[in-house]
Amino acid sequence: MKEDFPIFQRLINGRRLVYLDNAATTQKPACVIDAMSNYYSSSNANVHRAVHTLAGEATEGYENCRNLLKRRFNSKFAIITSGTTEAINLVSHAWGEHNMSEGDVVVLTEMEHHSDIVPWQMLAEKIGIELRYVPVEDGKLDMDAFDVALDGAKLVCVVHTSNVLGIRNPIEEIISKSHKVGAKVLLDAAQAVPHERIDFQTLGADFMAFSAHKMCGPTGIGALLVSDRAFSEMKPFMGGGDMIETVTLEGSTYQTNEHKFEAGTPRIAEGFGWAAALEWIEDIDLEFHHGRLLKIANNVSTELQNRGITVYSSLQPGDAAVVSFTHPTIHPEDFARLLDAQGIAVRTGHHCAQPLMEKLGVNGTIRASFYIYNDKEDADIFLSGIDRVLEAMA
């Protein structure tokens, strides 16, 4: 599969690239790069307005991305955003501000990415909602505490799959319990959609946010899927071109579909690129790769622990192949630099999840995250790289 990805022809510090920073962003197949470049070189125009040929092609290509999203995720609505972060902020403004008021409860977890914490803290400051955090115990959500937190909740925001631990949360149970008490559910699915085929309507969540760049698509584009009911409760948050039906000096009326939430010129080239990625990934058996990568990650985890390294990911069936670890004495950044010198790319730091780091009792971890183009050879090179770091720092 690496042949589809031009970047794997590159050497890093004279070595073949072993890319294990996929939870941050995945690499792009040539078809995605070509789709974006072809749009600029042969179809470049703005969308939705003009009747000329190029405008028609641009509109068709951009809307093709939306249609592919709706089809792949079985969703009636797909609002195109700049990514997961904008999608969650959109919910807080377009739904939260109009459907919640002082004292209303939003349930979050200690495992959330900052993009699913900060928007709610900002809304709490603005309208006085109450935030309750479900604790993480032994790397898992404390579901007894979740049951307690749910009392009187209006909205539950939860990360489907953790970007730090790779753990897949019990989403089905969370949705069912939340709906029983009348709370809506927002899923941060940034790390879920790359690994798992999700049927949004069958799953039954109200909002689902994710980014193209974690599933071989371009950066700067993502989506918010919304249930029928939630869509009818949302009000536009950004005003401008493209989202209106009529404008007079006295007032405006808005579009009734997703465009209502997409003011201004959208990410057209990125739409072409994401459409190409969605078509490319359609032929990939994610379940097969998921199982294969989890096996590789489990083996890596065991080998790291055999070398006296602490691993925080439990890598159970269903979890993503993400191995977060720390060494008792080597600083994560030093570790990552020494791996980079050998052509191995991993991520270090708090991974935009500082509350979870605090819970784990660390400032940061080193994270090796595997994706569909990684293989056992990558894992072997990674482990040899680890041995060289341990030797160098002994």
Ligand X SMILES: Cc1ncc(COP(=O)(O)O)c(C=O)c1O
Binding site for ligand X (CB under 6 A): 83-85, 113, 115, 159, 163, 188, 190-191, 211, 222, 352
- The answer to whether the beta carbons of residues 232 and 252 sit under 8 Å apart is no
- How far apart CA 16 and CA 19 sit, in angstroms, is 9
Nearest approach, Cβ of residue 174 and ligand X (Å): 15
| 352 among known catalytic residues | yes
Nearest approach, Cβ of residue 240 and ligand X (Å): 21
The β-bridge partners of 186 are 157, 207
Q: Which CB sits closer to ligand X, 94 or 330?
A: 94
Q: Which CB sits closer to ligand X, 55 or 122?
A: 122
Nearest approach, Cβ of residue 351 and ligand X (Å): 7
H-type helices in 74-215, by residue range?
Answer: 84-90, 97-99, 118-127, 143-149, 171-180, 200-203
Nearest approach, Cβ of residue 367 and ligand X (Å): 11
Indicate the burial class of 209 (C-beta count within 10 angstroms; 0-12, 13-18, 19 or more).
buried
Q: Which CB sits closer to ligand X, 159 or 234?
A: 159
Q: Which CB sits closer to ligand X, 85 or 313?
A: 85
> DSSP E strands: which ranges in 21-164?
77-81, 105-109, 130-134, 136-137, 140-141, 153-159
Nearest to 364 by CA among 379, 354, 377: 354
Nearest approach, Cβ of residue 296 and ligand X (Å): 20
Q: Which CB sits closer to ligand X, 115 or 227?
A: 115
> Pairing between strand 153-159 and 105-109?
parallel
Given its phi and psi angles, is residue 122 left (phi above 0), alpha (psi -120 to 50 degrees) or beta? alpha
Q: Which residue has the tokens 């040929």?
A: 53
Instruction: Give me the catalytic one of 65, 157, 216, 352.
Output: 352
Please give the positions annotated as active site: 352
